Structure 1
């Protein structure tokens, strides 16, 4: 299992370096999915990592799309944290996934 995690982390670093040619959103999704798979135990953590990574990548964009992604991320974080608190789940994890989702929606709707 340690070998698989190490391989995934190294792959993440390779994708991050080659991600310079990729869109920041796509590179963040690939890196987030790899980290989620390495640290999690199921597909849900991989998907959550991809969403958070893609949202983070979108927020680092310059211009109007980046600004819209950052605004969407702020709203998504608040909604995600509130939903997690109401349902009894981890508030920080809810905020992270909410921020990623909100950033993607903000970027897409701009």
Structure 2
């Protein structure tokens, strides 16, 4: 049953991604959510994958928005890694989630 759910989710994401292919942030969020869902098989991993994917997509944009997203991603990675150390969680996970969130914030605030 889990295999069927995963297949349906990936199929839906592939068909919906074609309409969002012009926006790298949305495409990254969809791809990240799909990878998080398959890898972690939980809502938390799906949301985390979406955040990392959206931030990565935002950082690949050209121009001022991409530059702001990259700057926000660098700051977010440092903050996320620091927070992970303090709370005793994985530093790599904290840095990845921080970079994704920072990239989205950087793009949105520009």
**TM-score for both structures, normalised by structure 1:** 0.86
Could you list the runs of 4 or more consecutive aligned residues of structure 1 that deviate by over 4 angstroms after TM superposition? 6-16
Paired residue for 1:37?
Answer: 37
Aligned residues between the structures: 109
Contact 2:77 2:95 in 1 (8 A): yes
The reply on whether 1:22 has 2:22 as its aligned counterpart is yes
Q: Give unpaired runs (5+ residues) of structure 2.
A: none
**TM-score for both structures, normalised by structure 2:** 0.86
Deviation at 1:4, TM superposition (A): 4.0
Contact 1:84 1:91 in 2 (8 A): yes
Q: Give unpaired runs (5+ residues) of structure 1.
A: none
Cα shift readout 1:46-78 (whole Å, capped 9, x = no counterpart): 110000000000000000000000000000000
RMSD: 1.8
**Alpha-carbon separation, structure 2, partners of 1:10 and 1:4:** 10
Deviation at 1:22, TM superposition (A): 3.0
